[in-house]
Structure 1
């Protein structure tokens, strides 16, 4: 598998909803996306940084989306869907997976920021294709199969001072 080096081309895909809800439920704090991007890239060559977000019509969300862009993320926004029974759903699993597969020929490393075990098969596929996969998430809420499928795992929960606001 590809080792870390300064000429390495890196893409970072961030499941913002997953990180937000985990940071809130575990620590009642928000993610420091600037530090997340900086530590994820590690002085390598950033190819793309994409944050996948959900529009839920909350008052602060547009300023949050703008802040992500100012930090260096491209934002992909999906509206939350409300069903007849009142339940709500919005996730980016398929979109993130398609983007990762599309980017695979243009990068050496994918930094995946989520704890969602649904991405373990994606990690295995990318590694088979020669892409290094690094996962950054909170270990206490990250699926074991995702950690095992990645080349490396960084537990955001071990570094509150760096990754939480």
Structure 2
């Protein structure tokens, strides 16, 4: 397993919906995005940090988006879609994957902050292309396939005092 070192250039991509729902369902707490970014960078050179968020018209979300910007994340915002049958859908899987493939060419490592197993194939591809791939998520809800596809998995549940508010 390759190790991280201070000279590595790293991009951090955070799946805010995945992290939010897991932190809420398991701990009834929110993610500390400043600590998450610090843990993901781990003393390396940060080139980009992007948080993928969903706009659902809740009163506190603009404050949250601004806080992400202040921490150092670029925010990519997608509006939630409501279908005729009343179902709702919003996810960033394709957008995150495209950004990861594009940005990996300019970085030594990509850190995906998610437990979503849909990213396992992406991780295997990036590693095949020579990029170090790490994931940060909650053990209880992270896909085994994702954990097996990365160079390193950081379990946020092991340090909730650091990674949760």
Q: Tell me which interval the TM-score lies in, with the shorter structure as reference length.
A: over 0.9
Aligned residues: 165
In 2, the alpha carbon distance for the partners of 1:6 and 1:114 equals 23
1:40 aligns to what?
Answer: 40
The alpha-carbon deviation at position 3 of structure 1 amounts to 2.9
The alpha-carbon deviation at position 2 of structure 1 amounts to 4.6
2:157 aligns to what?
Answer: 157
- TM-score scaled by length of structure 2: 0.99
Unaligned runs of 5+ in 2: none
- 1:2-151 equivalent positions in 2, closer than 5 A: 2-151=2-151
- Secondary structure of the 1:106 match is coil
Task: Give CA deviations for 1:48-93 in whole Å, capped at 9, x if unaligned.
Answer: 0000000000000000000000000000000000000100000000
- Secondary structure of the 1:49 match is strand
- TM-score scaled by length of structure 1: 0.99
- Secondary structure of the 1:147 match is helix
Q: How large is the Cα RMSD of the aligned pairs?
A: 0.7
The alpha-carbon deviation at position 159 of structure 1 amounts to 0.6
The alpha-carbon deviation at position 126 of structure 1 amounts to 0.2
The alpha-carbon deviation at position 26 of structure 1 amounts to 0.2
Task: Give CA deviations for 1:10-42 in whole Å, capped at 9, x if unaligned.
Answer: 000000000000000000000000000001101
In 2, the alpha carbon distance for the partners of 1:107 and 1:64 equals 28
- Secondary structure of the 2:105 match is helix
In 2, the alpha carbon distance for the partners of 1:138 and 1:4 equals 21
In 1, the alpha carbon distance for the partners of 2:118 and 2:39 equals 24
The alpha-carbon deviation at position 104 of structure 1 amounts to 1.2
Asked whether the equivalents of residues 2 and 151 of structure 2 are also in contact (C-alpha less than 8 Å), the reply is no
Asked whether the equivalents of residues 115 and 142 of structure 1 are also in contact (C-alpha less than 8 Å), the reply is yes
Unaligned runs of 5+ in 1: none
Which consecutive aligned stretches of 4+ in structure 1 deviate over 3 angstroms post-superposition? none
